[in-house]
Amino acid sequence: MPSDSYSGKTRARVAVITITLFLFILNIKRIVADTAEIHSFQQGCKLEGLHPLLIVTYKEITISVDKITVPHNERITVRCRELGKYKLIGEPLLHCRNGTWNEKTPYCVPTTAISNYTENVPPTIVFGLPTGSAALEPTGALAVFPGSILHLECLFARKFGEPNWTWTSSRDYLKGWAMSRGNDWKYRLSIYYAKHHDSGVYTCSTPKGLSNSIQVRVVDVRCPVLTEPEPPLISHIGSNRIGDNAIFECPEGYRLEGASGVTCQYNGKWSANVPHCEEIECPAIEVEDNPLLSLIEHNNTYGGNAVFTCMWGYKLSGLQTIRCGGNGRWNASIPTCLEITCPVPETPRSGRIIEQTRYSNKKRYHAPIYKVGALVKFACLPGHQLIGEASLICIENGTWSHRPPVCKIRCPYPGDPPHGRIAPLKFWYKPGDNIQVTCSPGYVTPLEPVKKPSCRENGIWSAPPPPCRSYKEV
Ligand SMILES: *[C@@H]1O[C@H](CO)[C@@H](O)[C@H](O)[C@H]1NC(C)=O
Ligand SMILES: *[C@@H]1O[C@H](CO)[C@@H](O)[C@H](O)[C@H]1NC(C)=O
Ligand SMILES: *[C@@H]1O[C@H](CO)[C@@H](O)[C@H](O)[C@H]1NC(C)=O
Ligand SMILES: *[C@@H]1O[C@H](CO)[C@@H](O)[C@H](O)[C@H]1NC(C)=O
Ligand SMILES: *[C@@H]1O[C@H](CO)[C@@H](O)[C@H](O)[C@H]1NC(C)=O
Ligand SMILES: *[C@@H]1O[C@H](CO)[C@@H](O)[C@H](O)[C@H]1NC(C)=O
């Protein structure tokens, strides 16, 4: 946990930097403006062309920018990025006095861990915390909570000789090549159960006289106790010693607003405020300006649905149901409504349309448009019988209510002859059908063998029905 806690802190710090940088710059501008009025004769100090590895702390806010202006009489603190891997050359504390700094701008030089363990650079100093906690101070000093075990490792290639640890405190410490892996390049000094009087500067010097130092301050710094937050915020709160972390998350359907982790900093303040959870909502859907589309369900919270429908005679193009996703966006676009039309119906052979509800299509005026409810009525040419439904209606799924009818060749009912009746009696006769005539009492058909009239293939009778004559005339 200790090393995690350290890296967790670094991450949290980066987040804090990003968030606060903007505010910070605004703040500086305001301070510059204020002081310009009061001490118009005393100028602010510029900090330009900063070494990219330098990290600047001003008014307890840590920033990394390449150019800032600090008002007269203000102080800044600098350190190198990646504690121990770069050595700060110069003073970490700078004081602005009427346009000039009291010290030269410091810079960072790489150490052995960066330069592949060459002999001509200062040694790297890294630390390990098997128990306890620690946090970095703006000066690059390591603030260690009392009782922690601290290993300071001086990284130096053993083949070039043995480095030398020296320190300012009066205690004695175990030191030597690390026993485990890395025992050819880690020259360790261990501080067990750190106490206040272990505070001081620890310096590792190489046989060539190059050195690097780390300042250790054993301080009993604690941050305010964090209380369990209100649901839905979920927290993993550790202890509140310097360097300790608390992690936050939100359940599904919520978005975390703020830092997902906070670290107890060197100054006894948490690196950020406790975040909160915001319910995820998708943008509300407006259909007012689309008279064809309406919403039958509209739940724009995470996991909720928006369900659409179209005006009568129109159909949806797109999804009927869309869902509000975890990113606060609808999972698909809002559908549109298309007018439902039926295809042009097939006119039967030997038939024609005698009535229809037709809407001309402006773009392709040759093709009629049949909207829902449109009616088409057919009739057959003379000598034909209409089989099926004469009228079709365009229905809501874009199909016709019936198949178009067909026109079959038929002979019409020829009419009864005077004083007689034809049999069989029908409206329509199929080609090949015959009829015969039965005369009323007292009447007869001619005795000569007369062919029975038959319906021909063209829908015309082969002969008219034979007449009935009175006995008297025969
Ligand atoms: C500050 O510096 C400016 C010029 O750099 C000078 O004119 C002014 O007198 C100085 N003010 C003080 C209070 O030293
Ligand atoms: C580092 O040094 C070792 C030997 O001292 C060499 O084998 C290795 O290639 C070097 N690596 C780099 C990245 O220079
Ligand atoms: C380490 O440095 C101290 C102080 O400079 C010196 O007294 C001591 O002899 C050195 N030890 C070794 C092993 O070089
Ligand atoms: C909206 O949808 C969410 C997720 O499905 C559900 O929990 C909530 O009860 C719904 N709200 C309403 C008002 O129906
Ligand atoms: C969006 O959500 C709806 C409703 O759950 C689902 O039917 C549809 O397939 C989803 N669309 C996409 C593109 O994921
Ligand atoms: C259209 O609707 C009718 C009546 O509801 C139904 O019989 C027919 O199968 C439907 N056709 C299609 C293509 O859905």
Residues 359-380: tens digit of each pLDDT: 655 555 566 789 899 999 999 9
pLDDT of residue 223: 95
Is the residue at 10 inside a domain? no
Residues 393 and 433 placed together within one structural domain of the fold: no
Least confident of 293-302, 350-359, 389-398: 350-359
How many domains does one find in the chain? 6
Residue of minimum CA distance from atom 14 in ligand 3: 164
For residues 8 and 147, the model is more confident at 147
* Centre of ligand 1 from the C-alpha of residue 41, in Å: 6
Residues 371 and 443 placed together within one structural domain of the fold: no
Is the residue at 303 inside a domain? yes
Is the residue at 34 inside a domain? no
Q: How far apart are CA 73 and CA 61, in angstroms?
A: 17
Question: CB pairs under 8 A, 24+ apart, for 458-465?
Answer: 458/383, 458/409, 458/431, 459/383, 459/384, 459/409, 459/410, 459/411, 459/431, 460/383, 460/411, 461/411, 461/414, 464/414, 464/417, 465/414, 465/415, 465/416, 465/417, 465/420, 465/422, 465/435, 465/437
* Run of H or E including 318: none
Residues 143 and 78 placed together within one structural domain of the fold: no
pTM, entire model: 0.61
Residues 440 and 460 placed together within one structural domain of the fold: yes
Residues 360 and 441 placed together within one structural domain of the fold: no
**What is the identity of the amino acid at 277?**
C
- Residue 200: band (very low, low, confident or very high) from pLDDT cuts 50, 70, 90: very high
3-state secondary structure string across 266-303: CCCCECCCCCEEEECECCCCCCCCCCCEEEEEECCECC
pLDDT of residue 448: 65
Pairing status of strand 61-63 against strand 86-89: unpaired
pLDDT of residue 138: 87
Here the tokens at position 291 are: 């008279």
Mean pLDDT of the chain: 85
Q: Residue 413 to residues 382, 418, 432, 435, 452: CA-CA distances in angstroms?
A: 12, 15, 14, 10, 15
Return the CA Rg of the chain: 49
Is the residue at 357 inside a domain? yes
Q: Domain of residue 369: give its range.
A: 341-409
For residues 449 and 220, the model is more confident at 220
Cβ of 395 closer than 6 Å to ligand 5, yes or no, is no
Q: How far apart are CA 21 and CA 26, in angstroms?
A: 9
Q: How far apart are CA 13 and CA 174, in angstroms?
A: 33
Residues 192 and 250 placed together within one structural domain of the fold: no
Residues 131 and 185 placed together within one structural domain of the fold: yes
pLDDT at residue 181 greater than cutoff 80 = no
CATH code, 386:
2.10.70.10
Domain C-terminal end among 375, 393, 409: 409
- How many Å separate Cα 306 from the centre of its chain? 18
Region of residue 360 (left: phi > 0; alpha: psi -120 to 50; beta: else): beta
Taking the CA of 162 as reference, the closest ligand is 3
What phi and psi, each to the nearest 5 degrees, are found at residue 49? 55, 40
What tens digit of pLDDT does each residue of 257-292 get? 999 999 999 999 999 999 999 999 999 998 888 889
Residues 471 and 430 placed together within one structural domain of the fold: yes
* Centre of ligand 2 from the C-alpha of residue 116, in Å: 6
Cβ of 166 closer than 6 Å to ligand 3, yes or no, is yes
Q: How far apart are CA 11 and CA 5, in angstroms?
A: 10
Half-sphere exposure of 337 (CA within 13 A, CB side): 16
Residue to substitute in 160, 166, 203 for testing ligand 3 pocket (most ligand atoms within 8 angstroms of CB)? 166
Q: How far apart are CA 262 and CA 15, in angstroms?
A: 10
| Residues with a CB atom less than 6 Å from ligand 4 | 299, 301, 303-304
What phi and psi, each to the nearest 5 degrees, are found at residue 10? -60, -45
Residue of minimum CA distance from atom 7 in ligand 1: 41
Residue of minimum CA distance from atom 5 in ligand 6: 397
Residues 267 and 353 placed together within one structural domain of the fold: no
Q: 3-state class of 432 per DSSP? A: coil
pLDDT of residue 364: 55
pLDDT of residue 449: 59
Least confident of 54-68, 99-113, 415-429: 54-68
Is the residue at 360 inside a domain? yes
Residues 268 and 252 placed together within one structural domain of the fold: yes
CATH code, 186:
2.60.40.10
For the chain, how many helices (H) and strands (E)?
A: 1, 42
What tens digit of pLDDT does each residue of 283-341 get? 999 888 888 999 999 999 999 999 999 998 899 999 999 999 988 899 999 999 999 99
What value does the mean pLDDT take over residues 115-143? 92
pLDDT at residue 133 greater than cutoff 60 = yes
Domain C-terminal end among 110, 138, 167: 110
pLDDT at residue 16 greater than cutoff 70 = no
- Residue 1: band (very low, low, confident or very high) from pLDDT cuts 50, 70, 90: very low
Cβ of 240 closer than 6 Å to ligand 3, yes or no, is no
Domain C-terminal end among 55, 81, 110: 110
What tens digit of pLDDT does each residue of 38-63 get? 545 788 888 877 778 888 888 888 77
Residue of minimum CA distance from atom 1 in ligand 4: 304
Cβ of 211 closer than 6 Å to ligand 3, yes or no, is no
Is the residue at 72 inside a domain? yes
Residues 207 and 145 placed together within one structural domain of the fold: yes
Q: 3-state class of 162 per DSSP? A: coil
pLDDT of residue 471: 82
What value does the mean pLDDT take over residues 421-448? 88
Cβ of 319 closer than 6 Å to ligand 5, yes or no, is yes
- Residue 36: band (very low, low, confident or very high) from pLDDT cuts 50, 70, 90: very low
Contact between residue 155 and residue 137 where contact means Cβ atoms under 8 Å apart: no
Contact between residue 99 and residue 44 where contact means Cβ atoms under 8 Å apart: yes
* Centre of ligand 4 from the C-alpha of residue 279, in Å: 12
Is the residue at 36 inside a domain? no
pLDDT of residue 470: 86
pLDDT at residue 144 greater than cutoff 80 = yes
Is the residue at 39 inside a domain? no
* Centre of ligand 4 from the C-alpha of residue 305, in Å: 8
Contact between residue 297 and residue 255 where contact means Cβ atoms under 8 Å apart: no
| Residues with a CB atom less than 6 Å from ligand 6 | 395, 397, 399
Residues 239 and 171 placed together within one structural domain of the fold: no
For residues 25 and 113, the model is more confident at 113
